[in-house]
Structure 1
């Protein structure tokens, strides 16, 4: 258990001599915008350690330096939120990284396999998950809680070494590299407030509605960050859509909306919302943003997509790769509608060789699917 900067410096210096380090974090986020880091677990070939970032006076700089050490592979499971914490607190993205959840999909362990399932399959160990919903900010932590926390990285080492060997044996190391590039991209974690509207599921049809929504979303994003509260605590999504559609211009009109809490319209936030609405309404019609149009799929495309889904399942099972990582439903719809002109990710990189080319053959009628001996198979036409 590391409680001081000096102990952390010593541990990180030792781990920096290792080819890899398994990393996990425990945090709280229910009442804040930014994750509250409560625990860091690290494990290398010669050291297992739990760091208490809440210990008085501890400086996490040695940990962030280790995360940026290009000579040490940082091993995570479902890395995105852990990396987000490092990015927010340390201002860097760990590199290089290895996400065992993504790697397991490439090796055929299933879609988004959980850590405990992976440990059971690879190591034959059943983890005790009874401490999963612990309040990690509470001190002192019990021995049971600490045992649970360290198990998230000690077994991760064995999972990493097993899956890494499998990737090398199957010649799929480069496949994983393409996926890790997305996790290591700064824009994955550094969302600009002006782009916050893109996180919302669109329920609007008019350019003026989109203009209001864009300004509201950017304001809410900045407000949530500055106050360190969840976005919904500032303004719920339903309220944003109703405001965008109704476009209230004054306090009285804002207060009549169904999704606005009583009295909210007279608050400082209510006045800020009205300012965003009126600023959007002042935009000249010619300068209003264009509403993204849903992809117009040709008639009969649904059946074609279903055929592509069957082909995808066949190829995924044959090659031991999770279908989810090969192609999405959007990819299949795009391939069915546009063929080679599609910009689907499934038509690029390793996915093209594995699935994209057969999918295009199916779309062109060069191969078909047949049911024989109670199994579906591919046949040349």
Structure 2
């Protein structure tokens, strides 16, 4: 096994991979105590070699690795890439490109919704992963042989899995399906955390504008504070506490100290002052500037049976085409299509429309029907003429 702990060895390893068509990449990181993931290990494999790179080694400079990841001539293969890509984006400000996510590719090729790495490599590479090191503390040194073996298996078995998925995509002509999905993973906006929209991630039970204004200010402050101190959001202020503060809008230290989940020590400290300032900013907003949630429209009466028919059609089409239904349409997408022919949902765009959306609209308007023939659900044409 190869563990790289010096910049010179890393540079030599990356030079050897410079002419590769692709490399497989994975990371080990911790995030329990920080806002940003703490990178502890990077595993990289080319067609014939593999190594684990220790970013915590004294004097280690990851510049050769970053240069390799940014080489446009080399495809970077990840499994469930989002968190790995986020690490490199926040580390360098760039997204490794071009990119191939085997989890998404597996969904396109019919391996089910969000298939795990172990399941995928078992099916495609016949490999068995030793899971005993899965929840290890990757920040501790020295790393054991078992840890390194587990870590490297995440990139070595990924090679045959990638090659088989690539061949399946080519055989079925679905490369462009995957390209559409990779556009999200390679968009910097995917990894940006905007403090001004942080409040939208919270589950609220009221749409009162003043409550929402206080919550928005609190969430924005917490987001900036968590980023500045590199702490998990909950370590700065818990969601429940923010909702409680937004509900009562305290304006004094005493009021804040009496809020459930707060204490006098917090209320009298710097963070307490910041919270009170955020509350006051929200209370000072004029009515015209208060945030408002669009009321969720109730689905038209009688739409439920249409949604159920669309759900059957989706299952049938996905089984026929060997693609995960989750990738094609969600439950809310089906509701939107049932209510509106021009719904702006992925299922009515691109390859999804070709595979499912056009038939969904045809079923909705009676141009086709579903029937059970030879114990299978099939599409049959109808003679219904639309008015």
Fold match by TM threshold 0.5: yes
- Tell me if 1:140 matches 2:145: no
Could you say which residue in structure 2 is the equivalent of 1:257? 259
Post-superposition offset of 1:369: 2.2
Could you say which residue in structure 2 is the equivalent of 1:361? 362
SS in 2 for 1:368: strand
Could you say which residue in structure 1 is the equivalent of 2:349? 348
Q: Quick one: which of 270, 273, 287 aligns to 1:271?
A: 273
SS in 1 for 2:28: strand
SS in 2 for 1:277: helix
Could you say which residue in structure 2 is the equivalent of 1:79? 81
Post-superposition offset of 1:262: 5.6
Could you say which residue in structure 2 is the equivalent of 1:179? 181
Post-superposition offset of 1:220: 0.5
Kindly provide the CA deviation profile for residues 166-218 of structure 1, in whole angstroms up to 9, marking residues without a partner as x. 00000000000000010000000012211222222343311112211111111
| Runs of 4+ residues deviating >6 angstroms | none
Post-superposition offset of 1:255: 2.2
SS in 1 for 2:380: strand
Aligned residues of 1:204 and 1:241 also touching (Cα < 8 A): no
Could you say which residue in structure 1 is the equivalent of 2:41? 39
Listed as ranges, the matches of 1:22-33 within 5 Å are 22-33=24-35
The worse-fitting range, judged by mean Cα deviation, of 317-326 and 123-132 is 123-132
Could you say which residue in structure 1 is the equivalent of 2:377? 376
Post-superposition offset of 1:356: 0.6
Could you say which residue in structure 1 is the equivalent of 2:56? 54
Q: Quick one: which of 202, 205, 208 aligns to 1:206?
A: 208
Could you say which residue in structure 1 is the equivalent of 2:300? 298
Listed as ranges, the matches of 1:195-344 within 5 Å are 195-261=197-263, 263-339=265-341, 341-344=342-345
Aligned residues of 1:83 and 1:93 also touching (Cα < 8 A): yes
Aligned residues of 2:207 and 2:292 also touching (Cα < 8 A): no
Aligned residues of 1:203 and 1:241 also touching (Cα < 8 A): no
Query: What is the alpha-carbon distance in structure 1 between the residues aligned to residue 176 and residue 204 of structure 2?
Result: 36
Query: What is the alpha-carbon distance in structure 2 between the residues aligned to residue 49 and residue 212 of structure 1?
Result: 50
Post-superposition offset of 1:373: 4.4
Could you say which residue in structure 1 is the equivalent of 2:99? 97
Query: What is the alpha-carbon distance in structure 2 between the residues aligned to residue 10 and residue 177 of structure 1?
Result: 32
Superposed CA RMSD: 1.3
Query: What is the alpha-carbon distance in structure 1 between the residues aligned to residue 180 and residue 263 of structure 2?
Result: 46
Listed as ranges, the matches of 1:102-181 within 5 Å are 102-181=104-183
Aligned residues of 1:40 and 1:52 also touching (Cα < 8 A): yes
Query: What is the alpha-carbon distance in structure 2 between the residues aligned to residue 250 and residue 363 of structure 1?
Result: 58
Aligned residues of 2:75 and 2:97 also touching (Cα < 8 A): yes
Post-superposition offset of 1:368: 2.1
Query: What is the alpha-carbon distance in structure 1 between the residues aligned to residue 282 and residue 182 of structure 2?
Result: 39
Query: What is the alpha-carbon distance in structure 1 between the residues aligned to residue 70 and residue 299 of structure 2?
Result: 45
Query: What is the alpha-carbon distance in structure 2 between the residues aligned to residue 310 and residue 250 of structure 1?
Result: 57
Could you say which residue in structure 2 is the equivalent of 1:7? 9
Q: TM-score, normalised by structure 1?
A: 0.97
Q: How many residue pairs get matched? A: 380
Kindly provide the CA deviation profile for residues 148-174 of structure 1, in whole angstroms up to 9, marking residues without a partner as x. 000000010111110001000000000
Q: Which runs of 5+ in 2 are unaligned?
A: 383-387
Query: What is the alpha-carbon distance in structure 1 between the residues aligned to residue 31 and residue 206 of structure 2?
Result: 30
